[in-house]
Structure 1
Amino acid sequence: MMMLQGSKSGSEMEVTWEDQQNINTFSRLNNRFHDLDDEIKSAKEKCENLDDAGNELILADEEMVRFQIGEVFAHVPRDDVETKIEEMKEATCKSLEKLEEEKKSIVTQMAALKKVLYAKFKDSINLEED
Structure 2
Amino acid sequence: MRFRSAARCAAGAPGGTEEFRGDGFRGGVFTALTAGGTQIGAGLLLAVGLLTPLAAAGTMGVMTVALTVKRPHGLWVQNDGFEYPLVLVTIGAVLSATGPGHWSLDASLGRTGGGHRPALGRTADLGLPRRSHRS
Same fold by TM (over 0.5)?
no
Which structure has the bigger radius of gyration?
1
Q: Could you say which structure has the greater relative contact order, defined with CA pairs below 8 angstroms and 6 or more residues apart? A: 1
TM-score with structure 1 length normalisation? 0.36
TM-score with structure 2 length normalisation? 0.35
